[in-house]
Amino acid sequence: MSNLSVEHLLGIKYLKNSDIELIFETANHFKEVINRPIKKVPSLRDITIANLFFENSTRTKLSFELAEKRLSADVINFSASQSSVKKGETLIDTVNNILSMKVDIVVMRHPNVGAGIFLSKHVDAKIINAGDGTHEHPTQALLDTYSIKEKLGSVKGKKVVIVGDILHSRVALSNIYALQLQGAEVKVCGPTTLIPKYIKSLGVGVETNIKKALEWCDVANVLRVQNERMDVKYFPTTREYSQLFGISKQVLDQVGKDIVIMHPGPINRGVEITSDVADSDSSIILNQVENGVAIRMAVIYLLAEQIKR
Ligand code: CP
């Protein structure tokens, strides 16, 4: 089997399309494994992985831990809120102390943009970025793109609109890179205040009318409004946001075509998406979560292949 062109998974920006293809092929194999009665392989019995979460997570944290256990790796978990970070310990000191316990791979979520890149230059371990501030969330984009391919047969030529708070979203940027590498056309749709000015330079279209965006697309990836990252008001009220940009059955009925509905979670039901859409047959939200385990198994397995053992 060939291997990844990168030594760490810091962002989709650093990957080639051949890396994505390799991750998807490997994930196909692991998806078959995790649907067997015995959902485990012994591949990483000699590998130790530390999951370092400096920001809250449900899906990513549990999915990485399950992926690691399915590969038979030894796993340690660290949550900043219950750690000596609260006593003033730095990121490098924290990680080097953890690495002294003979850790091979670090999975890290951190609120600061570039935290994974910084760590990869200062510590001797493979780094997987599980989300760095508003920058990148590479495994989310890989599982999203994989889920589109699974649902529609291919990503090439498909039209994908990313709806909502693009400005504060690491999912949006990683998705744009991954979808474009796979040959999709990408637009974003949301309030002008929540669309970064640089977005057009990435070859991404901008649409501020949700109905026009939905009429154009095959897939709508709906994002949460990240109130926790907002220090000023970006739109007048949540009600107005829902009326103008919320994805409801009523809006989809007006558009009148089949659209694959995605959401990375966590969902704010009734704000960016209504329950009758999130829980509908058009929604692949829980398939995304299921595919996350196979994708993360693939990424971890391929990076571990590069470690001399
Ligand atoms: N999609 C995602 O990153 O969810 P969590 O914040 O729960 O990990």
Q: Write a three-state SS string for 182-209.
A: CCCEEEEECCHHHCCHHHHHHCCEEECC
What does the alpha-carbon distance between residue 140 and residue 174 come to, in Å, rounded to a whole number? 8
pLDDT of residue 127: 98
Whether residue 146 sits in one domain with residue 261: yes
pLDDT at 1: 57
Other C-beta atoms within 10 Å of 300: how many? 28
Q: 10 Å Cβ neighbour count for 113?
A: 14
- CA 308 to centroid of ligand 1, rounded, Å: 32
The per-residue pLDDT for range 155-208, each reduced to its tens digit, is: 999 999 999 999 999 999 999 999 999 999 999 999 999 999 999 999 999 999
Assess whether 147 and 202 both reside in one domain: yes
CA of 8 to the centre of ligand 1 (A): 20
Beta-strand ranges (E) seen in 183-309 are 185-189, 205-207, 219-222, 260-262
Q: Quick check: 199 and 187 in contact, CB under 8 A? A: no
Residues 132 and 143 in one domain: no
Q: Whose CA is nearest to atom 4 of ligand 1?
A: 59
Atom of ligand 1 nearest to the CA of 109: 8
Together in a domain, 114 and 160? no
Q: Is residue 71 part of a domain?
A: yes
Quick check: is 211 in a domain?
A: yes
- Residue 72, phi then psi, degrees to nearest 5: 70, 25
Q: Is residue 3 part of a domain?
A: no
The response to whether residue 292 sits with its C-beta less than 6 Å from ligand 1 reads: no
- Angle between helix axes 59-70 and 285-304 (nearest 10 degrees) is 50
| 69, containing H or E segment | helix 59-70
Residue 6 belongs to a domain: no
Q: How many domains does the chain have?
A: 2
| pLDDT value of position 227 | 80
- Identify any residues that bridge with 305 across adjacent strands, giving them in sequence order: none
Same domain, 147 and 48: no
Q: Are residues 48 and 155 in the same domain?
A: no
CA of residue 61 to ligand 1 center, whole Å: 8
Helix (H, G, I), strand (E, B) or coil at 49: strand
Model confidence pLDDT, tens digit, residues 120-151: 999 999 999 999 999 999 999 999 999 999 99
In a domain, 145, yes or no: yes
76 shares its domain with 90: yes
CATH (domain of 127): 3.40.50.1370
Q: Both 130 and 151 in a single domain? A: no
Query: Which phi and psi angles does 168 have, rounded to 5°?
Result: -100, 10
254 C-alpha vs ligand 1 centroid, how far in Å? Answer: 31
Q: What interhelical angle do 17-33 and 138-152 show, nearest 10?
A: 70
Ranges of residues in the chain with a pLDDT under 70 are 1
What pLDDT score does 13 carry? Answer: 98
Q: Is the pTM of this model over 0.85?
A: yes
In a domain, 251, yes or no: yes
For residue 111, the CA-to-ligand 1 centroid distance in Å is: 13
| Residue nearest to ligand 1 atom 3, measured at CA | 60
Atom 6 in ligand 1: which residue has the minimum CA distance? 57
Structural domain of 42: 12-136+289-308
Shared-domain flag, residues 148 and 55? no
Q: Is residue 184 part of a domain?
A: yes
**Is 56 in the same domain as 96?**
yes
In this structure, the answer to whether residues 113 and 200 fall within a common structural domain is no
Nearest to 126 by CA among 13, 222, 47: 47
- Answer yes or no: is 2 within a domain: no
Please work out, in degrees rounded to the nearest 5, the angle formed at the alpha carbon of residue 84 by the alpha carbons of 92 and 88: 70
Q: Is 253 exposed, middle or buried (0-12, 13-18, 19+ CB in 10 A)?
A: exposed
Residues 259 and 162 grouped into a single domain: yes
- Name the token pair of 4: 């990844």
Cβ–ligand 1 contact at 288 (below 6 Å): no
